[in-house]
Amino acid sequence: MHEETRVSTPGDGPSERRSDASGHADVVASPGQRGRDEERLPLSTAPFGAEVEGQDPHRARIADVSPPLSVVLLVKNESDRLGDALESVSWAEDVVVADTGSTDGTVDVARRFGARVHEIPWEGFVASRNRALGEAKNDWVLALDADERLTQELKGEVLEILEARGETLAGVEMPRLSYFLGRPIRHGTWYPDVKLRLGRRSRGFRAEGGRVHEAFAVDGEVARLSRPLIHHPYRDLSDALRKASTYARLGADDRYDKGARGSLTRLLLRPAFEFFRSYVWKAGFLDGAIGPSIAFFHAWSYFLRGAFLYERERLEKESARNADVGGSPMKFGPKVIAGAIALSLTAGFGCSNEKPGPFEKAGKKADEKADELKKEVDAAAEKTKKDLEEARKKAAETGEAIAEKAKDATEKAAEKVSEKTKQAGEAVKETARDVKEDVAKGIDKARATPTPGPRKN
């Protein structure tokens, strides 16, 4: 007696899977062969995308993938996007969601899709990502974000390469296709954007990098797939601008810690180059009307990073100077702000990690000129500092002289007041003696005058 379960195969009509009660391996019957001698095939060879009747599609897992696969997602407040990501990997044997403090119901969404949830502290992108990878059960791990999805075609490639080369490879990379305002970006600097996302923990699969834009690495051979990973990086335009500013500041801090310093010349020249590189050199114009927007946004994000780097260097220097002479650090002056605004209206913004190509020599010359100007500015600042010190000393000397004169004048005035007070006291005493004498004389005279007797009538 057999226990039957139907399998729906897209485009081919229903197929049939049967499993022996005695424990024999599951098989799939090809369409149109039921009722006759059926060609019995292993379940793992069924077309990808088949739906198993009678099972919750969110909880269905392909348990016989060899080698088994874990999917790990690092999330925070992604309740609106996590469901689509989890559904695209619902076939995986082990799905882990590492939550770093969501408050919007993200954990509930993860559990509803059957994922194992681990709440971990936020320690930065690299440390938190590696902590999340440690929660996986299997050696092979697919690292995914809530804004990414696997297509059926990419899923097929993943399972195929794991089956064929899973014992020899250390990792697998794949292109990533990003969408902006609902449109796929297939050219410019956004594509192919190859990412290493599938790796073996036994071969050191790990996250590396700085505060932002971490990358994955493995120790060993890496293969590349052809089907892209789908990426929806921004919910809307405001989300894009917010993330660009946040990531640019973190990137600037990383570069500053590594010894990079801001250059006003590079800040003003590189945006035009980055726009040209994205829109013309990388054929961003082939994306149609959205092409200029992508090129501008690319350049703008790099401009922000360069601006934050320049600002931090300036503030550090101003803080050091003001620590000696007192005061507070200076912000960007009006000329710098005006230049940035003018630039935003003309060429877009940016600084890039990639090689500038034909603009390299011009950039170096501009940097040399900028360094000369920088030295002149530093020399002028040093002279100003010395002049200010001398002025402080002179002011201190002048203040001491004024205080001495004031002291002398005060002492003299006090002496005069004391003298006048003394003279007034003597006059009062003299007047009191005169009055006393006059009173005594009047009393003596009154005593010497005889008192008249009673009058007779």
pLDDT tens digits, one per residue of 298-341: 999 889 988 988 888 888 888 777 765 554 444 444 444 445 54
In this predicted model, which residue has the larger pLDDT, 160 or 40? Answer: 160
What length is written for the chain?
457
CA-wise closest residue to 128 among 73, 179, 91 = 73
User: Does residue 104 fall inside a structural domain?
Assistant: yes
User: Does residue 361 fall inside a structural domain?
Assistant: no
Q: In the chain, pLDDT over 90 holds for what percent of residues?
A: 44
422: CB partners within 8 A, 6+ apart: none
Q: In the chain, pLDDT over 70 holds for what percent of residues?
A: 62
- pLDDT over 70 (residue 418): no
Which pLDDT belongs to residue 369?
57
- pLDDT over 60 (residue 359): no
CA 408-412-414 angle, to 5 degrees, is 115
CATH number for position 170: 3.90.550.10
Do both 92 and 192 map to the same domain? yes
Which pLDDT belongs to residue 266?
81
Query: 208, 231, 254 — which closes off a domain?
Result: 231
Q: Alpha-carbon distance 61 to 63, whole Å?
A: 6
- pLDDT over 50 (residue 16): no
**pLDDT confidence tier of residue 231, bands split at 50, 70 and 90:** very high
- pLDDT over 80 (residue 174): yes
Do both 122 and 169 map to the same domain? yes
Average pLDDT of the chain to the nearest whole number = 76
User: Does residue 402 fall inside a structural domain?
Assistant: no
Which pLDDT belongs to residue 447?
66
CA 126-132-136 angle, to 5 degrees, is 140
Do both 42 and 113 map to the same domain? no
Q: Alpha-carbon distance 151 to 145, whole Å?
A: 14
Which pLDDT belongs to residue 42?
36
Exposure b/e, 169-204, CB count within 10 A at least 16 = b: bbbbbbbbbbebeeeebebbbbbeeebbbbbbbebe
Do both 290 and 154 map to the same domain? no
DSSP strand pairing (13-20 vs 27-29): antiparallel
Q: Please answer whether residues 351 and 302 qualify as being in contact, where contact means their C-beta atoms are separated by less than 8 angstroms.
A: yes
pLDDT tens digits, one per residue of 98-112: 999 999 999 999 999
Q: Please answer whether residues 175 and 193 qualify as being in contact, where contact means their C-beta atoms are separated by less than 8 angstroms.
A: yes
| SS3 sequence of 284-305 | HHHHHHHHHHHHHHHHHHHHHH
Do both 281 and 206 map to the same domain? no
Task: Point out the least confidently predicted range of 148-157, 326-335, 369-378.
Answer: 326-335
CA-wise closest residue to 175 among 196, 155, 161 = 196
Which pLDDT belongs to residue 419?
73
Do both 111 and 207 map to the same domain? yes
User: Does residue 24 fall inside a structural domain?
Assistant: yes
Average pLDDT on 424-444 reads 70
Do both 30 and 92 map to the same domain? no
153: CB partners within 8 A, 6+ apart: 227
DSSP H or E segment with residue 40: strand 40-42
Whole-Å CA distances, 79 to 62, 100, 112, 114, 441:
25, 13, 11, 15, 115
DSSP H or E segment with residue 431: helix 360-448
Whole-Å CA distances, 400 to 39, 364, 391, 413:
109, 53, 14, 20
Domain count, the chain: 3
Which pLDDT belongs to residue 102?
97
User: Does residue 409 fall inside a structural domain?
Assistant: no
- Peptide bond preceding 292 in cis form (omega within 30 of 0): no
User: Does residue 98 fall inside a structural domain?
Assistant: yes
Q: Which domain holds residue 30?
A: 2-52
Do both 339 and 284 map to the same domain? yes
User: Does residue 241 fall inside a structural domain?
Assistant: no
- Conformation bin of residue 47: beta by default, left when phi > 0, alpha when psi is -120 to 50: beta
Do both 162 and 301 map to the same domain? no
User: Residue written as tokens 């630039």?
Assistant: 343
223: β partners: 172
In this predicted model, which residue has the larger pLDDT, 332 or 429? Answer: 429
Which pLDDT belongs to residue 370?
56
Average pLDDT on 364-384 reads 63
144: β partners: 73
If one counts every other C-beta atom within 10 angstroms of the C-beta of residue 349, the result is 28
DSSP H or E segment with residue 126: helix 125-133
Do both 209 and 176 map to the same domain? yes
Do both 276 and 345 map to the same domain? yes
Do both 282 and 333 map to the same domain? yes
8-state DSSP, 426? H
User: Residue written as tokens 């990531």?
Assistant: 247
Q: Please answer whether residues 52 and 14 qualify as being in contact, where contact means their C-beta atoms are separated by less than 8 angstroms.
A: no
Task: Point out the least confidently predicted range of 48-52, 189-193, 278-282, 405-409.
Answer: 48-52
Query: 354, 377, 395 — which closes off a domain?
Result: 354
Q: Please answer whether residues 264 and 310 qualify as being in contact, where contact means their C-beta atoms are separated by less than 8 angstroms.
A: yes
Query: 289, 320, 354 — which closes off a domain?
Result: 354
User: Does residue 286 fall inside a structural domain?
Assistant: yes
Which pLDDT belongs to residue 172?
98
pLDDT tens digits, one per residue of 25-60: 333 333 333 333 333 333 333 433 444 334 444 444
Q: Please answer whether residues 175 and 107 qualify as being in contact, where contact means their C-beta atoms are separated by less than 8 angstroms.
A: no
DSSP H or E segment with residue 119: strand 116-119
Average pLDDT on 194-209 reads 97
- pLDDT over 50 (residue 17): no
